[in-house]
Amino acid sequence: MLISAGAALGMALTALGMVLTPGPNMMYLVSRSISQGRIAGLISLGGTFVGFVVYMTMANLGLAAVFLLVPWLYVAFKAAGAGYLAYLAWQALKPGGRGLFEPRDLPRDPGLRLFRMGLVTNLLNPKAAIMYLSLIPQFINPARGHQVLQGFTLGGIQIAVSMTVNAAIVLAAGTVAGFISHRPAWATWQRRITGTMLGAISVMLAREVPVRARV
Protein backbone atom coordinates (compact mmCIF):
# COMPACT_ATOMS: atom_id res chain seq x y z
CA MET A 1 0.00 0.00 0.00
CA LEU A 2 1.42 3.38 -1.03
CA ILE A 3 0.31 5.19 2.15
CA SER A 4 -0.69 3.77 5.53
CA ALA A 5 -4.26 3.68 6.78
CA GLY A 6 -3.19 6.03 9.58
CA ALA A 7 -1.83 8.57 7.10
CA ALA A 8 -5.00 8.37 5.02
CA LEU A 9 -7.22 8.85 8.08
CA GLY A 10 -5.04 11.66 9.42
CA MET A 11 -5.15 13.42 6.06
CA ALA A 12 -8.93 13.06 5.85
CA LEU A 13 -9.46 14.46 9.35
CA THR A 14 -7.05 17.33 8.72
CA ALA A 15 -8.80 18.17 5.45
CA LEU A 16 -12.19 18.02 7.19
CA GLY A 17 -11.05 20.43 9.91
CA MET A 18 -9.67 22.83 7.31
CA VAL A 19 -12.73 22.83 5.06
CA LEU A 20 -15.14 23.34 7.97
CA THR A 21 -13.23 26.46 9.06
CA PRO A 22 -14.71 29.51 7.29
CA GLY A 23 -12.40 31.01 4.71
CA PRO A 24 -12.40 32.68 1.28
CA ASN A 25 -13.60 29.56 -0.55
CA MET A 26 -16.56 28.96 1.72
CA MET A 27 -17.56 32.63 1.74
CA TYR A 28 -17.47 32.87 -2.05
CA LEU A 29 -19.32 29.59 -2.64
CA VAL A 30 -22.04 30.40 -0.11
CA SER A 31 -22.55 33.95 -1.39
CA ARG A 32 -22.87 32.70 -4.98
CA SER A 33 -25.22 29.88 -4.05
CA ILE A 34 -27.53 32.22 -2.14
CA SER A 35 -27.51 35.06 -4.68
CA GLN A 36 -27.54 33.06 -7.92
CA GLY A 37 -28.65 29.54 -7.05
CA ARG A 38 -27.15 26.10 -6.51
CA ILE A 39 -26.04 25.64 -10.13
CA ALA A 40 -23.94 28.80 -9.90
CA GLY A 41 -22.46 27.56 -6.63
CA LEU A 42 -21.56 24.20 -8.17
CA ILE A 43 -19.96 25.86 -11.21
CA SER A 44 -17.90 28.00 -8.82
CA LEU A 45 -17.00 24.82 -6.94
CA GLY A 46 -15.65 23.41 -10.21
CA GLY A 47 -13.17 26.30 -10.32
CA THR A 48 -12.24 25.59 -6.70
CA PHE A 49 -11.54 21.95 -7.65
CA VAL A 50 -9.16 23.00 -10.44
CA GLY A 51 -7.41 25.34 -8.00
CA PHE A 52 -6.74 22.43 -5.65
CA VAL A 53 -5.41 20.34 -8.54
CA VAL A 54 -3.06 23.18 -9.51
CA TYR A 55 -1.78 23.46 -5.94
CA MET A 56 -1.36 19.69 -5.64
CA THR A 57 0.58 19.48 -8.91
CA MET A 58 2.82 22.46 -8.17
CA ALA A 59 3.52 21.33 -4.60
CA ASN A 60 4.52 17.84 -5.72
CA LEU A 61 6.61 19.05 -8.65
CA GLY A 62 8.70 21.65 -6.91
CA LEU A 63 6.72 24.61 -5.53
CA ALA A 64 8.05 23.87 -2.04
CA ALA A 65 11.60 23.96 -3.43
CA VAL A 66 10.92 27.38 -4.96
CA PHE A 67 9.82 28.73 -1.59
CA LEU A 68 12.94 27.25 0.02
CA LEU A 69 15.14 29.00 -2.54
CA VAL A 70 13.18 32.26 -2.29
CA PRO A 71 11.91 32.25 1.32
CA TRP A 72 10.70 35.85 1.23
CA LEU A 73 8.14 34.81 -1.40
CA TYR A 74 6.52 32.34 1.00
CA VAL A 75 6.67 34.93 3.81
CA ALA A 76 5.02 37.51 1.57
CA PHE A 77 2.31 35.03 0.58
CA LYS A 78 1.53 34.18 4.21
CA ALA A 79 1.55 37.85 5.22
CA ALA A 80 -0.86 38.70 2.40
CA GLY A 81 -3.07 35.77 3.39
CA ALA A 82 -3.11 36.88 7.03
CA GLY A 83 -4.09 40.40 5.98
CA TYR A 84 -6.86 39.13 3.71
CA LEU A 85 -8.34 36.90 6.41
CA ALA A 86 -8.15 39.80 8.88
CA TYR A 87 -10.11 41.91 6.38
CA LEU A 88 -12.77 39.18 6.05
CA ALA A 89 -12.95 38.92 9.85
CA TRP A 90 -13.50 42.69 10.14
CA GLN A 91 -16.21 42.57 7.46
CA ALA A 92 -18.06 40.00 9.58
CA LEU A 93 -17.50 41.59 13.00
CA LYS A 94 -17.87 45.30 12.25
CA PRO A 95 -21.18 47.02 13.10
CA GLY A 96 -23.60 46.29 10.29
CA GLY A 97 -21.43 43.49 8.93
CA ARG A 98 -22.89 40.51 7.12
CA GLY A 99 -22.76 36.89 8.19
CA LEU A 100 -21.78 33.95 6.03
CA PHE A 101 -25.37 32.95 5.21
CA GLU A 102 -26.93 36.41 5.05
CA PRO A 103 -28.14 37.31 1.52
CA ARG A 104 -26.23 39.99 -0.37
CA ASP A 105 -26.77 41.63 -3.72
CA LEU A 106 -24.31 40.30 -6.31
CA PRO A 107 -24.43 40.65 -10.10
CA ARG A 108 -25.48 37.52 -11.96
CA ASP A 109 -22.29 36.28 -13.57
CA PRO A 110 -22.08 33.87 -16.55
CA GLY A 111 -20.78 30.35 -16.01
CA LEU A 112 -17.25 31.04 -17.25
CA ARG A 113 -16.78 33.94 -14.84
CA LEU A 114 -18.20 31.88 -11.96
CA PHE A 115 -15.72 29.11 -12.73
CA ARG A 116 -12.84 31.57 -13.08
CA MET A 117 -13.65 33.34 -9.81
CA GLY A 118 -13.85 30.01 -7.98
CA LEU A 119 -10.41 29.15 -9.37
CA VAL A 120 -8.83 32.52 -8.52
CA THR A 121 -10.36 32.58 -5.04
CA ASN A 122 -8.83 29.19 -4.28
CA LEU A 123 -5.43 30.05 -5.75
CA LEU A 124 -5.31 33.14 -3.50
CA ASN A 125 -6.55 31.17 -0.48
CA PRO A 126 -3.81 30.98 2.19
CA LYS A 127 -5.48 27.91 3.71
CA ALA A 128 -4.86 25.99 0.48
CA ALA A 129 -1.20 27.00 0.44
CA ILE A 130 -0.74 25.94 4.06
CA MET A 131 -2.44 22.61 3.36
CA TYR A 132 -0.16 21.65 0.48
CA LEU A 133 3.11 23.22 1.64
CA SER A 134 2.97 22.54 5.38
CA LEU A 135 0.40 19.91 6.35
CA ILE A 136 0.36 17.27 3.60
CA PRO A 137 4.17 16.73 3.67
CA GLN A 138 3.83 15.67 7.33
CA PHE A 139 1.89 12.55 6.22
CA ILE A 140 4.47 11.46 3.62
CA ASN A 141 6.64 8.55 4.75
CA PRO A 142 10.00 8.52 2.89
CA ALA A 143 10.54 4.87 3.93
CA ARG A 144 7.65 3.83 1.69
CA GLY A 145 9.28 5.44 -1.37
CA HIS A 146 7.44 7.11 -4.27
CA GLN A 147 7.13 10.36 -2.34
CA VAL A 148 5.61 12.23 -5.28
CA LEU A 149 2.93 9.56 -5.67
CA GLN A 150 2.28 9.70 -1.94
CA GLY A 151 1.82 13.45 -2.26
CA PHE A 152 -0.68 13.05 -5.09
CA THR A 153 -2.55 10.34 -3.17
CA LEU A 154 -2.80 12.45 -0.04
CA GLY A 155 -3.78 15.46 -2.14
CA GLY A 156 -6.50 13.36 -3.75
CA ILE A 157 -7.90 12.53 -0.31
CA GLN A 158 -7.87 16.21 0.64
CA ILE A 159 -9.65 17.19 -2.57
CA ALA A 160 -12.28 14.45 -2.16
CA VAL A 161 -13.08 15.57 1.40
CA SER A 162 -13.10 19.26 0.49
CA MET A 163 -15.31 18.82 -2.57
CA THR A 164 -17.80 16.63 -0.69
CA VAL A 165 -18.18 19.09 2.18
CA ASN A 166 -18.27 22.16 -0.05
CA ALA A 167 -20.85 20.58 -2.35
CA ALA A 168 -23.05 19.88 0.68
CA ILE A 169 -22.61 23.50 1.81
CA VAL A 170 -23.52 24.79 -1.66
CA LEU A 171 -26.66 22.65 -1.81
CA ALA A 172 -27.74 23.62 1.71
CA ALA A 173 -26.79 27.32 1.57
CA GLY A 174 -30.20 28.56 0.42
CA THR A 175 -32.05 26.54 3.05
CA VAL A 176 -29.73 27.67 5.83
CA ALA A 177 -30.00 31.30 4.69
CA GLY A 178 -33.80 31.10 4.79
CA PHE A 179 -33.69 29.55 8.25
CA ILE A 180 -31.34 32.20 9.63
CA SER A 181 -33.21 35.11 8.01
CA HIS A 182 -36.18 34.41 10.29
CA ARG A 183 -33.98 34.19 13.39
CA PRO A 184 -32.00 37.45 13.79
CA ALA A 185 -30.25 36.25 16.96
CA TRP A 186 -28.90 33.20 15.12
CA ALA A 187 -27.62 35.41 12.31
CA THR A 188 -25.77 37.63 14.80
CA TRP A 189 -24.08 34.70 16.53
CA GLN A 190 -23.20 33.05 13.23
CA ARG A 191 -21.56 36.29 12.08
CA ARG A 192 -19.62 36.60 15.34
CA ILE A 193 -18.42 32.99 15.24
CA THR A 194 -17.35 33.27 11.60
CA GLY A 195 -15.52 36.56 12.21
CA THR A 196 -13.80 35.21 15.32
CA MET A 197 -12.59 32.07 13.52
CA LEU A 198 -11.30 34.09 10.57
CA GLY A 199 -9.55 36.46 12.95
CA ALA A 200 -7.96 33.56 14.85
CA ILE A 201 -6.56 32.07 11.63
CA SER A 202 -5.27 35.49 10.61
CA VAL A 203 -3.44 35.87 13.93
CA MET A 204 -2.02 32.35 13.60
CA LEU A 205 -0.62 33.15 10.17
CA ALA A 206 0.72 36.53 11.29
CA ARG A 207 2.55 34.94 14.24
CA GLU A 208 4.34 32.60 11.84
CA VAL A 209 5.69 35.48 9.72
CA PRO A 210 9.31 36.20 10.76
CA VAL A 211 9.77 39.48 12.62
CA ARG A 212 12.24 40.77 10.04
CA ALA A 213 9.57 40.40 7.35
CA ARG A 214 7.19 42.62 9.29
CA VAL A 215 9.55 45.54 9.93
Ranking 9-18, 147-156, 166-175, 195-204 by mean pLDDT, the lowest is: 195-204
Calpha distance 148→140 (Å, rounded) = 9
DSSP 114-164: HHHHHHHHHHT-HHHHHIIIIIGGGG--GGG--HHHHHHHHHHHHHHHHHH
Please give the distance of CA 34 from its chain centroid, rounded to a whole number: 19
At 116-141, the pLDDT tens digits run 999 998 988 877 877 787 778 778 88
Calpha distance 40→150 (Å, rounded) = 33
Domain limits for position 120: 5-214
Handedness of CA 18, 19, 20, 25 (dihedral sign): positive
Q: What pTM does this model have? A: 0.71
User: Using an 8 Å Cβ cutoff, are 38 and 174 in contact?
Assistant: yes
Calpha distance 121→45 (Å, rounded) = 10
User: Using an 8 Å Cβ cutoff, are 67 and 73 in contact?
Assistant: yes
Residue 23 has pLDDT above 60, yes or no: yes
Calpha distance 150→127 (Å, rounded) = 21
Contacts of 57 (CB under 8 A, 6+ apart): none
Crossing angle for the helix pair 184-207 and 71-93, nearest 10 degrees? Answer: 160
Q: How confident is the model at residue 211, as a pLDDT?
A: 42
Q: Higher confidence at residue 197 or residue 29?
A: 29
Is residue 115 very low, low, confident or very high in pLDDT (cuts 50, 70, 90)?
Answer: very high
Residue 4 has pLDDT above 80, yes or no: yes
Mean pLDDT of 97-112: 66
Nearest to residue 150, comparing CAs of 158, 160, 162, 142? 142
For the chain, the domain total comes to 1
**How many helices and strands (H and E) does the chain possess?**
10, 0
DSSP 178-189: HHHHT-HHHHHH
Please name the amino acid found at residue 47. G
At 156-170, the pLDDT tens digits run 999 999 999 999 988
